[in-house]
């Protein structure tokens, strides 16, 4: 299943079941269902059968009629992995990581999948990072690798937008990774059962139509389930937490000389089976 958070005609946020180029408005097809994605995920075991069977012509719209919001607007936390594809490690000249490298993106950076991304006033070193994102479906701590698949609700396409001068001027990356508008993801959540094995998906980033990043999630150094096992040794993973799983090679900072994004550029991130997100860069007002 594909579940979107969206608005219709400027109304309140609601959840849609995406079917091809159509979307079923669940609040109409299934009144009484939660209208927040985190609440829906929390009740998923009880409601999934109803959602799966939701068909209601009167509640169905063409996708073009809806505005997509971040699938989860208020995750409890966003964690992101550094250096998780071998080609990205090599292009940066870093050593292969012996341990998983994690940082946080602040929740205030959450951004809709097709909304303009800001070039901040204080930098002209804005860079893209296409990443597979997963959404936690079940709370847990000290989750074993074997149990980890049961804790994934689904997957999205993300762009870990990075302000490189701010990221790299200090050992902690959090400010450079947390500018407003710099955590877009979507276009919707594709549920884990529909994705199957998440470690065989082509992943790409295009800037103004040029392919800049082109890889496959099989190139992960640490796969999704190892990520869950490791992260959950430190912290409880909660329903609706959003995890960025690392980016492949081809980022702008690694080019010689570096090429950064500027106002007017179009950045498209896509992953087979999960869809695409796309945005124009614009200068912060
Ligand atoms: Zn990243």
* pLDDT average, residue stretch 12-33: 95
| Residue 79 alpha carbon to ligand 1 centre in Å | 10
| Residue 129 alpha carbon to ligand 1 centre in Å | 6
| Residue 230 alpha carbon to ligand 1 centre in Å | 17
| Residue 247 alpha carbon to ligand 1 centre in Å | 5
Q: Indicate whether 215 pLDDT > 90.
A: yes
| Residue 83 alpha carbon to ligand 1 centre in Å | 8
| Residue 246 alpha carbon to ligand 1 centre in Å | 5
| Residue 204 alpha carbon to ligand 1 centre in Å | 14
Quote the distance between the C-alpha of residue 89 and its chain's center: 21
Q: Indicate whether 91 pLDDT > 90.
A: no
| The pLDDT of residue 161 | 98
CB 169 within 8 A of CB 161: no
Domains of the chain: 2-68 (no CATH), 78-283 (3.90.850.10)
What tokens appear for 190 in the block? 């594709």
Beta bridge partners of 204: 214, 270
The pLDDT tens digits of the residues spanning 225-240 come to 999 999 999 999 999 9
| The pLDDT of residue 137 | 98
pLDDT over 70, % of the chain: 100
Match 């992960």 to its residue by tokens.
220
| The pLDDT of residue 16 | 97
Average pLDDT over the chain, rounded to an integer: 96
Q: Indicate whether 56 pLDDT > 90.
A: no
pLDDT confidence of 114, banded at 50, 70, 90? very high
| Residue 215 alpha carbon to ligand 1 centre in Å | 14
Q: Indicate whether 260 pLDDT > 90.
A: yes
Distance between CA atoms of 249 and 211, rounded to whole angstroms?
12
Match 């407003």 to its residue by tokens.
180
The pLDDT tens digits of the residues spanning 160-202 come to 999 999 999 999 999 999 999 999 999 999 999 999 999 999 9
* pLDDT average, residue stretch 117-126: 98
| Residue 164 alpha carbon to ligand 1 centre in Å | 11
Q: Indicate whether 57 pLDDT > 90.
A: no
pTM of the predicted structure, to 2 decimals: 0.97
| The pLDDT of residue 55 | 79
Distance between CA atoms of 164 and 247, rounded to whole angstroms?
14
pLDDT over 90, % of the chain: 93
Beta bridge partners of 133: 156, 244
């Amino acid at each position: 299943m594909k579940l979107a958070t969206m608005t219709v005609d400027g109304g309140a946020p609601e959840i849609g079941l995406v079917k091809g180029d159509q979307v079923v408005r669940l609040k109409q097809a299934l009144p009484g269902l939660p209208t927040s994605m985190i609440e829906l995920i929390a009740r998923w075991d009880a409601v999934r059968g109803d959602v799966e069977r939701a068909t209601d012509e009167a509640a169905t719209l063409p996708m073009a009629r809806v505005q997509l919001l971040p699938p989860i607007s208020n995750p409890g936390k966003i964690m992101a992995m550094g250096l998780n594809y071998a080609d990205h490690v090599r292009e940066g000249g870093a050593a292969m990581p012996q341990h998983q490298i994690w940082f946080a993106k602040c929740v205030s950076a959450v951004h809709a999948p097709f909304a303009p991304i800001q070039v901040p006033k204080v930098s002209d070193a804005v860079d893209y990072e296409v990443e597979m994102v997963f959404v936690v479906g079940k709370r847990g701590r000290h989750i074993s690798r074997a149990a980890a698949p049961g804790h994934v609700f689904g997957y999205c396409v993300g762009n870990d937008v990075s302000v490189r001068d701010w990221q790299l001027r200090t050992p902690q990356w959090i400010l450079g990774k947390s500018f407003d508008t710099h955590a877009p993801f979507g276009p919707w959540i594709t549920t884990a059962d529909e994705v199957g094995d998440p470690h065989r998906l082509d992943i790409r980033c295009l800037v103004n139509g040029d392919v800049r990043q082109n890889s496959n999630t099989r190139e992960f150094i640490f796969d999704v389930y190892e990520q869950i096992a490791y992260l959950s040794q430190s912290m409880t993973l909660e329903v609706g937490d959003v995890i960025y799983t690392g980016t492949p090679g081809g980022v702008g900072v690694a080019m010689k000389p570096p090429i950064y994004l500027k106002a007017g550029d179009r950045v498209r991130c896509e992953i087979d089976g999960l869809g695409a997100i796309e945005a124009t860069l614009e200068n912060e007002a």
